[in-house]
Amino acid sequence: MGLEEPLIWIKNAQKKEDGSCPAVDRLLPPGTSRRTRRFHAQLPGYEMTPLKSLPNLAARLGLDSIWVKDESARMRLNAFKALGGSYAIYQYIRDRVGLPELTFDRLMSAEIRGQLGDVTFSSATDGNHGKGLAWAARKLGFPCVIYVHKDTSQARIDAIAEFGAEVRVVDGNYDNAVRQCNRDAQANGWQVVSDTSWPGYEQIPMWVMQGYTTLLAETQEQLAALGYTRPSHVFLQAGVGAFAAAMIAFYKQLFPADPPIFVIVEPRGAACIYESMRIGDGRTHNVEGELDTIMAGLACGEPSPLAWEILRDCADAVITVPDYVAAKGMRMYGVPLQGDPVVISGESGAATLGALTFVMDYNEAEEIRQALRLDEESHVLLINTEGNTDPEYFRNVVWDGTMPVPAEYRWDGPRRQLGSR
């Protein structure tokens, strides 16, 4: 078997040339991001996560700046996902009781709980969404049932169960877990809270995606304090695409005339967004099989239709990467250049840094750099979506060097030819 190329990419030929994206306004009606952040600010333990600068790495890669929104510090949950699950539960409850807005204290009151009756929340997950939903359900005093696929690590299962959820393991991949969760929820009268949509199920995924935008509202406040208006480029991880689409929607709405350039990064073994763009008929397309990748949070074979509308109309490019690219990103974050801060990042969180490094590091990536207009004036935003969520595997990568970069693709200095010695 030959070496896996570090970068396979496609420019989005379906992007709307006039900049229009009707799905953005549908997802984020005016004032949505302010409401989501106002809700999250009331949650116990809420703090704005740090925005870290990597100036020395930026200089080495030939960029003006690299900013990392570090979600490993989010509410001690090691990932951003609680933002989506908590806001969706809040909106579901608010909608059920017929009130335009609820404070957190009122949300927790016996009066509201009495109006709701018994509710069990449920979802399928690759790890972080399930943990975030379990955390939110326990905070609000509701039972929660989470479905995971058979290859989910015990550490991720234990992290979900720690917050009081029942965890059920499904034979198959993430998409099989989604289907089993839906069947059981219908049979038992549970309420599914998922970030992926399907026909007839869009409102809750929309609320989940809206909840994610709090992290960019924070980011913009932090950038403004440093004298920056916006990033020129945003690299975004994609599983089903909900997180990436929410981030794009936020910036498209904030800077409609001059948004950043959006680059989607996917695992080579679960590249459903890439496949949908490659086929180019405007519809979603699934990838089948084991979806084998160390990037557990991105191991999804079926795009969310709601997210796809935004990615199709607004994303600039999609890059797929093999596992060693994400592993390199983990090590680069953990052992930074002198003067740059340490970032603790899991496999999915580090995929974008790994991809950015390969885009900037090699002569064979010149076509990508030119297409994306990445140069010494670029201000790149990365989002570390998760910290050390699987400690044993994290040590395997960072301590033992699991998934090393093949010798042909290692970084020996400034840009050079792939495969040169």
Q: Do residues 345 and 334 make contact, with C-beta atoms less than 8 angstroms apart?
A: yes
Q: Which of 159, 184, 201 is the last residue of a domain?
A: 201
Active site residue 361: no
- For residue 130, how far is the Cα from the chain centroid? 14
Looking at the fold, whether 405 and 374 belong to one and the same domain comes out as yes
Q: Record the tokens describing residue 270, joined without a space.
A: 């679960």
Q: Which of 180, 201, 222 is the last residue of a domain?
A: 201
Q: Does 417 fall in a domain?
A: no
330 lies in some domain:
yes
Residue 2 within a domain: no
Per-residue confidence in pLDDT tens, the chain, 421 aa: 468 999 999 999 999 888 888 999 999 999 999 999 999 999 888 999 999 999 999 999 999 999 999 999 898 888 898 899 999 999 999 999 998 888 888 888 888 888 888 899 999 988 788 888 998 888 888 899 999 998 888 988 998 999 999 999 999 888 899 999 999 999 999 999 998 999 999 999 999 999 999 999 999 999 999 999 999 999 999 999 999 999 999 999 999 999 999 999 999 999 999 999 999 999 999 998 888 999 999 999 999 999 999 999 999 999 999 999 999 999 999 999 999 999 999 999 999 999 999 999 987 899 999 999 999 999 999 999 999 988 999 999 999 999 999 988 887 665 544 433 2
How do strand 261-267 and strand 233-237 relate by DSSP bridges?
parallel
Q: Is residue 1 part of a domain?
A: no
Token pair belonging to 285: 């397309």
Q: Shortest CA distance to 236 belongs to which of 215, 206, 257, 207?
A: 215
Q: Which CATH number covers residue 143?
A: 3.40.50.1100
Residue 265 region by backbone torsions, left for phi larger than 0, else alpha for psi between -120 and 50, else beta: beta
> Within this chain, do residues 100 and 55 fall inside the same structural domain, yes or no?
no
Verify that 233 and 124 share a domain, yes or no: no
Whether residues 279 and 381 fall in one domain: yes
* Same-domain status, 69 and 92: no
418 within some domain: no
> Per the structure, how many domains does the chain have?
2
In-domain check, residue 62: yes
| pLDDT value at residue 419 | 36
| Domain carrying residue 62 | 8-79+209-409
The answer to whether 120 touches 142, Cβ cutoff 8 Å, is: yes
| pLDDT for res 416 | 44
Same domain, 87 and 74: no
| The domain boundary residue, chosen from 201, 226, 251 | 201
Give the C-alpha separation, 242 to 249, whole Å.
10
Do residue 381 and residue 272 come from a single domain? yes
Same domain, 306 and 168: no
Does the residue 94 lie in any domain? yes
3 part of a folded domain:
no
pLDDT for 136 equals: 86
Instruction: Specify whether 74 is located in the same domain as 185.
Output: no
Query: In this structure, are 261 and 124 located in the same domain?
Result: no
Residues 226 and 354 in one domain: yes
User: Which residue shows structure tokens 């932090």?
Assistant: 222
Residue 213 neighbours by CB distance under 10 Å? 27
Any catalytic annotation for residue 11? no
Residue 127's pLDDT is 73
370 and 243 belong to one structural domain: yes
- Choosing from 15, 52, 81, 328, which is the catalytic residue? 81
Q: Which of 70, 126, 313, 361 is catalytic?
A: 126
